[in-house]
Amino acid sequence: MDLIVATDRGLYCPAGDFHIDPWRPVPRAVITHAHSDHARFGSDVYVCHRDTAPILLKRLGDVAIETAAYGEILTRNGVELSLHPAGHVLGSAQIRVSAKGETWVASGDYKLESDGVSPAFEPIRCHVFITESTFGLPIYRWRAQAEIFAAIDLWRRENIAAGRASLLFAYALGKAQRVLAHVDPALGPIVCHGAVEAINALYREAGVALPPTRLATEIADKREYSRALILAPPSAAASPWLRRFGDYSDALASGWMQVRGNRRRRSLDRGFALSDHADWPGLVGAIEATGAERILATHGSAGALTRYLREKGLDARTLETAYGDDEDTSDGGARESEA
């Protein structure tokens, strides 16, 4: 019997009687991270990393939560359960499950590059690795983040010179804070959408250093906008909230921006291919580092990734889940998956 199986409610560990990131209510839900496609409402008890707990409370309301530190082992029915950094967002964890000498790891979402606002990904040796594959095609190969942030700063400088605001769309949880931690704070004020600012507060409480940010309502002199960086979730695009900023250049920070068509379809001025997910070399490297002989892939281009791995001699299969995007990766984040 497999240690983890796919059910219509989500990944399930029969021996330990808990689900991982279930998409329907269950008695006990182990949560990899607080993005809405992984942490859904309605379960009786949530188990997660302690930095994920405040975000869960914020997003799901008053729910029952048990927390753990990275590496802490929780034992249940003879099954060992532990959380390990996934490097995706604050509190994100890979779930390690071990029983009778067999170890499985469910990655949740992860990236390999250390982003400075969440603990870096740690490879965990295992027999079976359940990996995400949001960007599971070789065309997704990220530039080093220093290069991307230099490009963002340059874009800002051009906008400041032209007297217009820089409006950057970034997912409220994780991406926005990563941007905050790396852009040049000396260039001008940073204004955050309320949804972003709420998460900023949780990051700061968890001890992550972020530069000063303000809400739009705290800006009295509108001329300040012409030098400002404005951070908003993609869902704020085309909303009346944007009207106050006057002339602006807009951009989106998302892995989907690697492909020009995705940017052009959204009629954005700029697209920065900055992702909190592993790119292709990242996925292949992470899989290799686990030493696993069996790979199960979820999300995105699982079909391509698993076929590639099978041709390399691994036992790799696609696992149907309700995470992230649908079967095809090329939508450009038009659906609000947190990429």
- The backbone torsions φ and ψ at residue 240, rounded to the nearest 5 degrees and listed phi first, read -60, -20
Q: Residue 86 or residue 257: which is nearer to other proteins going by CB?
A: 257
CB of 143 to other proteins, least distance (A): 9
Residue closer to other proteins, measured from CB, 213 or 301: 301
Minimum Å gap between C-beta 116 and other proteins is 24
Closest to other proteins by CB, 137 or 196:
137
Cα–Cα dist 332/26, whole Å: 31
Exposed/middle/buried for 64, CB within 10 Å: 0-12, 13-18, 19+?
A: exposed
The least distance separating other proteins from the CB of residue 100, rounded to whole angstroms, comes to 37
- At 56, which helix (H) or strand (E)? helix 53-60
Q: Which is nearer to other proteins, 102 or 327 (CB)?
A: 327
Minimum distance of other proteins from residue 330's CB (angstroms): 3
CB nearer other proteins, residue 204 or residue 265: 265
- Backbone φ and ψ for 333, nearest 5 degrees, come out as 70, 20
The C-alpha angle 262, 264, 265, rounded to 5 degrees, equals 65
Q: Least distance from C-beta 23 to other proteins, angstroms?
A: 18
Distance separating alpha carbons of residues 92 and 121, to the nearest angstrom: 9
Residues at the contact surface with other proteins, assessed by CB under 8 A:
137-139, 141, 258-265, 267-270, 301, 304, 307-308, 311, 326-332, 334
Longest dimension (CA), the chain: 65
User: Smallest Cα–Cα separation from 29: which of 46, 13, 9?
Assistant: 46
